Chain A
């Protein structure tokens, strides 16, 4: 499966989906998982506009939020023009992009935006 679709780690014993990865299931402590695609569209649970980003982020301000995909949640950057375009409960979809640099390496991840 492509790296560029949001995914979860499904417990091969009880079926619980996790994101991020754990070595043992949070529900049944089983050790084997399958990486499965999950919905790339979700609902915004909470958000912020961060005006003091850490080193490694080039922009001076960053929109961040927690997105509920139904089976799992993701935390990530959101691409909008202003905080006024964000509200709890709005729909967002994922795209795969560079999210920051760490020690001059480009780091990629899911970035969220209105559909």
Chain B
């Protein structure tokens, strides 16, 4: 198999509410990645999207994007894997190049969710749940997040303050990310301990408050992948290697998991990615973690093997995962502040790692010359998870 590099990364416009069309929004990110790579000679385009057929009345987005941007004779397809669509599309792009079928592949993730009213978007996301055992009963993703949080509170002594600490950290990072949907400083007083906190931060799915979960966003992100043996043709240095990829599965109905607090698919995906990259957890300098709910940042860090089970909340109490801590997590602001346009999230996580590893992350650049970054993109409620490791190999 051939090694694969990432030579371009782009998020064309600030996430949040986008007034143009879905394809225009994805085109902006794509052109930004093309300009970053310095090439538009692309063999294939994989578009990551979860719900355009349902909420934007548009399907076959790979064809649409190639047509709109005149990327002919590139070929393409649309990849749907729930909120893990982004990293899944990147993984498929990796496979397409590693196998020798294509040399240069563009991955563009995009989702335009703010066209629909809140309860409709909530219902659309809930269609990922088990149709008979979960969905028909009114189960939504915030309720699955709440089930997990309550078990963590009960079993490990995690508190609402711990979840708020994660949110405050991610908002602090988001303030330094010009692409972030929510650019707002939040405080413990403002969201939890003052009298106004009840109004600012209402309970959505007990014990989860509004600020314990990510917003609903429009947004897009794009990457250009290239075979390592062709990378010298482009002058994009330092070279970022697509060093590890892994994917893991679990039961669809969360109640069928023997221990619902352990995210088995995160462990499987991570173990595979580390094995492929030939790295250990200690080698990783920063991580992008899928915090659709702040409890997931804690649980995923444990299931991925960065912290012992039931211990990751101690790291947030000690500031270890802050931008200047010893293991920065979600330097982009995470899903909490950057936003969560479902198909785009996994792609944007990898964009952030690329910029950090190149030393191009601006105000939110982590110090100490990071070499290896890890990302986890969490699909379903953890029944389909993709982990990726990127490494800087020159510069």
Contact = CB atoms under 8 A, between A and B. Distances in A.
A50 B207 CA distance: 10
A66 interface: yes
A20 B123 contact: no
Q: Which of B122, B143, B251 has the most CB of A within 10 A?
A: B143
Contacts of B130: 20
Can you list the 7 inter-chain pairs with the closest CB atoms, starting with the nearest?
Answer: A48-B146, A54-B123, A73-B255, A20-B133, A55-B119, A49-B206, A46-B147
Nearest to A57: B138
B119 A53 contact: yes
A52 B205 contact: yes
Given A46-B260, A75-B254, 20 more contacts: A19-B253, A21-B132, A45-B255, A48-B150, A50-B140, A50-B206, A51-B205, A52-B122, A52-B205, A53-B140, A55-B119, A55-B122, A64-B147, A65-B147, A66-B147, A74-B133, A75-B133, A75-B137, A100-B137, A107-B136
Interface in B167-211: 202-208
Contact of B138 (A19, A20, A64, A83): A64
B274 to A, nearest CB: 27
A100 B208 CA distance: 23
B123 A48 contact: no
A18 B204 CA distance: 31
A49 B203 contact: yes
B293 to A, nearest CB: 12
Given A55-B120, A75-B253, A50 B146 contact: yes
B233 interface: no
Contacts of B151: 45-46
Contacts of B3: none
Nearest to B203: A51
A13 to B, nearest CB: 19
Nearest to B116: A55
B125 to A, nearest CB: 9
Contacts of B122: 52-55
Interface in A38-76: 45-57, 62, 64-66, 73-76
A77 B206 contact: no
Given A21-B132, A48-B206, A52-B204, A74 B255 contact: yes
A37 interface: no
B38 interface: no
A5 interface: no
Contact-residue bracket for chain B: 35 or more
Interface of A: 18-21, 26, 45-57, 62, 64-66, 73-77, 83, 88, 99-100, 102, 107, 109
A52 B143 CA distance: 9
Contacts of B25: none
Contacts of A107: 136
22 contacts: A19-B133, A26-B256, A45-B255, A45-B260, A46-B150, A46-B151, A48-B208, A49-B205, A53-B122, A55-B122, A55-B123, A57-B138, A64-B143, A73-B256, A74-B255, A75-B134, A75-B139, A75-B255, A99-B138, A100-B138, A107-B136, A109-B136
A88 B260 CA distance: 14
Interface in B89-134: 117-120, 122-123, 126, 130, 132-134
A41 B347 CA distance: 45
B137 A52 contact: no
A14 B32 CA distance: 56
B363 interface: no
B136 A52 contact: no
Contacts of B255: 45, 66, 73-75
A88 to B, nearest CB: 6
B154 interface: yes
A54 B150 contact: no
Contact of A47 (B118, B137, B150): B150
Contact of A50 (B132, B142, B154, B253): B142
Contacts of B254: 66, 75
